[in-house]
Amino acid sequence: MDIIKQDVTVAIGSEQMPCYTARPASGGPYPGLVVVMEAFGLNGHIRAMADRFAAEGFAVISPNLFFRQPNNVVGYNDLPGAMRLMGSLKDDQIVADMTAAINSLKQHKDVKPKFGTTGFCMGGRVAFLTAVRNSDVCATVPFYGGGMTRAGQAGGRAPIDDAANLKGPVLAFFGGKDAFIPVSEVDKFREALSRSGKEAEVVLYADADHGFMCDERPSYHPEHAKEAFAKTVAFFRKNLS
């Protein structure tokens, strides 16, 4: 499917947030999807993922959540830089920025009033956080999102604490070799979703590491990445139709 790609800005009060958008070149209306970046920023990999989802029939926006920081894209070999950027975010601001991105999709006549969120690494947590805090989100797919069972700031709430607010199902992916997200945390996340009574599937690839979807990282796992992407597309087609 041919797609249209565009860099845009989205207003948040007096600020302008840069975003990358991709959507099918014709037809529609299509479901809206927010694809959230890793801790390394809105880089080529995230843009490529946005393009892949657009080619599958989604109207995609990827916000630059680090736009308030200088040097807001770092290499995969710069973990300290990524931690610096990630540490600049606060949950309330994240939700406000994500809401602005969703609202920008609403303005397009070729976008259905059905919205999903997905993201990778830090973006996995952001995708889930948005789903529990924004009732426009009808389905969410977090990929190896760390910290979903922990508050982002002292005195705050962990995203999973608000699972009862979910308006749609969850499909979450993790890697069993992920040193950043112990299997015990995956189990805690799964159990909390089960207690909430919400529809959810948690997939744990025992031999996958953190970042297994990214073909620019040593942890890339082609087999699981292909399977997880196909499963995600099918999930969103079912729940955003």
Q: How many helices and strands in the chain, by DSSP H and E?
A: 6, 8
Residues serving a catalytic function are 121, 178, 210
Q: 46-68: string of b/e by CB count within 10 Å (b at 16+)?
A: bbebbbbbbbbbbbbbbbbbbbe
CB–CB of 20/225 below 8 Å?
A: no
**Strands 170-175 and 137-143, sheet pairing:** parallel
In angstroms, the CA 49 to CA 36 distance is 10
Strand partners, 3: 24
Long-range pairs for 235-239 at CB < 8 Å and ≥24 separation?
235/139, 235/141, 235/169, 235/171, 236/31, 236/33, 236/58, 236/116, 236/118, 236/139, 236/141, 237/31, 237/56, 237/57, 239/116, 239/138, 239/139, 239/168, 239/169
Supply the angle between the helices 91-106 and 122-133 in degrees, to the nearest 10. 70
Tell me how far apart the terminal alpha carbons of the chain are, to the nearest angstrom.
Answer: 18
Query: Strands 200-205 and 3-12, how do they pair?
Result: unpaired
